[in-house]
Amino acid sequence: MNKRFYLTTAIDYVNGAPHLGHAYEKVLADVIARVHRSMGGEVFFLTGLDEHGQKVQQAAQEQGKTPQAYCDELAVQWLAFVQKLGLSNDDFVRTTDQRHKDVVQAILSKLHAEEQFYKKPYVGFYSVREETFLTEKDRNPDGTWDAKWGQVNELVEENWYFKLGQHQQWLIEYIEANPGFIQPDYRRNEVLGFLRSQTLEDLCITRPAARLSWGIPLPFDPGFVTYVWFDALVNYFSVPVSLGDEGALGALPSAFRKQLPPISLWPADVHLIGKDILKFHAVYWPIMLKALGAPLPKTLLVHGWWQKDGAKLSKSTGNVVDPIAVIDEWGLDAFRYYLVRELGIGPDGNWTDDGFKSRYNAELANGLGNLLNRSISMLNKYRGGVVPAQSDELKPEAVVALKVIEGKLAAYDLQGALVEIWKEVNRANLYIEQTRPFSLAKDPAQAARLDAVLYNLVETCRILAVLLWPFIPATAEKIFAQLNVAGSPADWKLTEWGGLAAGHTIGTPIPLFPRKDLVPK
């Protein structure tokens, strides 16, 4: 049985509206998943929701609902969002799923039995908003607490701790020995810098149930629930276990083995996450897995954060981009294209409405849309829509471009891949200007030359559909439909030059991206 390429996104906090940052991460993951599927790989793409914790408990209380009812209502919106983005995810995990809770408890029990935990009293301060303990170091010089911590309470309580600190040296050596584990490089260096310069404190993995009941009960001490991050990180692992994956089950008691069709997922190939949650994934998660005796994920792929108009996205200041509104106005593929084309995986990005419109008009409507429209229209006009004999004039360039694009995709440089694909779009548009098929059509002596030009144009469009399918699948399907090509562009093998056979009849052109600047509002 082949191991599937197992790819995850962070699981979103259920208590908030889906925003641009969530959309970005999900679209990136979807493109990666589709690239692998198109190339013949078996993929398992997981996304989902993080539902426990104090904020959820408080919000539910304020609305007079049980936390479960509150989460169930919000989960409907999140699932609709996943559909709106056209995601090809294979599963959707909620941390309130029984399958997830069972695995979290099994892990806790195992680590407890192996004496990885201890209980001790804590006296200090606690930020409710960040659900984290604070020390004197976190205080402002004037003794106040920064607004980012929200309400800060003084606490005296006992909790359970995970012996994180004893694995510090191992983790440093692991990250040093596995350069691909944290990507890009500067994020890896950030983690190594932190680990080499600071002593890793043990991790508090519980909250007293009296203060916070909305969490997974600690199996060995009923007065406590599990800290949300210890719970949430396990989602990547609990889903494979629930599906009967041997790679994950090996670390758990045999009671988890069920009669299920075989599946091979763990270890994850890619955890796609934002830069703000790097420490949880690059420090806590590997140590949890090591203590458990489970293999580590192969890659943490860390993306940056979006701003809008140079300022932080914020609901309170109204500086937001509503993904659903953008999709409703401009179409899903335009949205997906802009996200991936504008911001590579790594740095921070900046959304501007003008930037979006400009890419829409220049690259989608004028670039790709116009190329397809002109190619199909001219073949219809000059050759009755019938594909002439194969000509290989643009083939050498297409072959070279394909290799470059494949290299970019293998390195998760999705933005770079789109840049290269658009070089082909621009090359083909330039080819029209250079060969002037409309002039050739006027001269019967140039009939063979016109045949060749028309072949190169429609064949380039066909290949572009295959290259673009992972990014903008609906558009790729439309290109195939307009070329009257049977089957789906979701097969990378179809990038080979010469797929359109002489004598094939194409369809009629329909604008892929109607030009918005020409449409009166």
Among the listed ranges 139-147, 153-161, 230-238, 447-455, the one in contact with ligand MSP (CB under 6 A) is 230-238
Question: How big, in percent rounded to 5, are the helix, strand and coil portions of the chain?
Answer: 50, 15, 35
Min dist CB 153 to ligand MSP, Å, is 22
Mapped onto helix, strand or coil, the DSSP state of residue 225 is: strand
Is residue 24 within the footprint of ligand MSP (CB under 6 A)?
A: yes
Q: Residue 5 and residue 513: Cα distance in Å, rounded?
A: 33
Q: Residue 128 and residue 138: Cα distance in Å, rounded?
A: 14
Q: Cβ–Cβ contacts within 10 Å for residue 505, how many?
A: 13
- Total binding residues for ligand MSP by CB under 6 A? 19
Q: Residue 322 and residue 214: Cα distance in Å, rounded?
A: 30
Is residue 7 within the footprint of ligand MSP (CB under 6 A)?
A: no
Residue ranges of alpha helices (H) inside 282-369 are: 285-292, 323-330, 332-342, 353-359
Min dist CB 82 to ligand MSP, Å, is 13
CB-based burial label for 487 (10 Å; 0-12, 13-18, 19+): exposed
Q: Using the rule CB under 6 A, which residue among 27, 35, 43, 50 binds ligand MSP? A: 50
> Nearer Cβ to ligand MSP, position 233 or 294?
233
Q: Show the binding pattern over residues 165-204: x = contacts ligand MSP (CB under 6 A), - = does not.
A: ----------------------------------------
Are the CB atoms for 330 and 211 separated by under 8 Å? Answer: no
Is residue 10 within the footprint of ligand MSP (CB under 6 A)?
A: yes
Q: Is 131 left (phi over 0), alpha (psi -120 to 50) or beta?
A: left
Q: Using the rule CB under 6 A, which residue among 184, 244, 274, 331 binds ligand MSP? A: 274
Cis geometry, peptide bond prior to residue 267 (ω within 30 degrees of 0) = yes
Q: Residue 159 and residue 211: Cα distance in Å, rounded?
A: 12
> Nearer Cβ to ligand MSP, position 27 or 35?
27
Is residue 12 within the footprint of ligand MSP (CB under 6 A)?
A: yes
Min dist CB 343 to ligand MSP, Å, is 9
> Nearer Cβ to ligand MSP, position 128 or 313?
313
Min dist CB 507 to ligand MSP, Å, is 39
Q: 286-305: which residues touch ligand MSP (CB under 6 A)?
A: 305
Bridge-based pairing state of the strands 299-303 and 311-312:
unpaired
Rounded to 10°, the helix 414-435/332-342 angle is: 110
Min dist CB 235 to ligand MSP, Å, is 6
Q: Residue 238 and residue 248: Cα distance in Å, rounded?
A: 8
Is residue 13 within the footprint of ligand MSP (CB under 6 A)?
A: yes
Q: Using the rule CB under 6 A, which residue among 191, 232, 376, 500 binds ligand MSP? A: 232
> Nearer Cβ to ligand MSP, position 21 or 509?
21
> Nearer Cβ to ligand MSP, position 102 or 477?
102
Are the CB atoms for 302 and 344 separated by under 8 Å? Answer: no
> Nearer Cβ to ligand MSP, position 35 or 46?
46
Is residue 506 within the footprint of ligand MSP (CB under 6 A)?
A: no
Is residue 282 within the footprint of ligand MSP (CB under 6 A)?
A: no
Q: 403-422: which residues touch ligand MSP (CB under 6 A)?
A: none
> Nearer Cβ to ligand MSP, position 73 or 496?
73
> Nearer Cβ to ligand MSP, position 243 or 343?
343
Task: Order across the sheet with 152-162: list the strands.
Answer: 132-134, 117-127, 152-162, 203-204
Distances (CA, A) of 47 to 65, 243, 295, 467: 26, 15, 21, 25
> Nearer Cβ to ligand MSP, position 8 or 264?
8
Min dist CB 481 to ligand MSP, Å, is 34
- Cβ within 8 Å of residue 498, ≥6 positions away: 390, 392, 395, 459
Residue 132 CA to chain centroid, in angstroms?
27
Tokens of 211: 């203060």
Mapped onto helix, strand or coil, the DSSP state of residue 126 is: strand
> Nearer Cβ to ligand MSP, position 260 or 311?
311
Among the listed ranges 155-163, 183-191, 227-235, 377-385, the one in contact with ligand MSP (CB under 6 A) is 227-235
- Cβ within 8 Å of residue 343, ≥6 positions away: 24, 303, 304, 306, 349, 415
Q: Using the rule CB under 6 A, which residue among 56, 60, 82, 273 binds ligand MSP? A: 273
> Nearer Cβ to ligand MSP, position 214 or 306?
306
Among the listed ranges 6-14, 28-36, 62-70, 252-260, the one in contact with ligand MSP (CB under 6 A) is 6-14
Is residue 256 within the footprint of ligand MSP (CB under 6 A)?
A: no
Is residue 277 within the footprint of ligand MSP (CB under 6 A)?
A: yes
Q: Using the rule CB under 6 A, which residue among 15, 21, 217, 321 binds ligand MSP? A: 21
- Cβ within 8 Å of residue 505, ≥6 positions away: 384, 385, 386, 387, 484
Are the CB atoms for 269 and 410 separated by under 8 Å? Answer: no
Among the listed ranges 55-63, 108-116, 127-135, 268-276, the one in contact with ligand MSP (CB under 6 A) is 268-276
Q: Using the rule CB under 6 A, which residue among 306, 351, 360, 469 binds ligand MSP? A: 306
| Interface contacts to ligand MSP, rule CB under 6 A | 10-13, 21-22, 24-25, 50, 232-233, 235, 273-274, 276-277, 305-306, 313
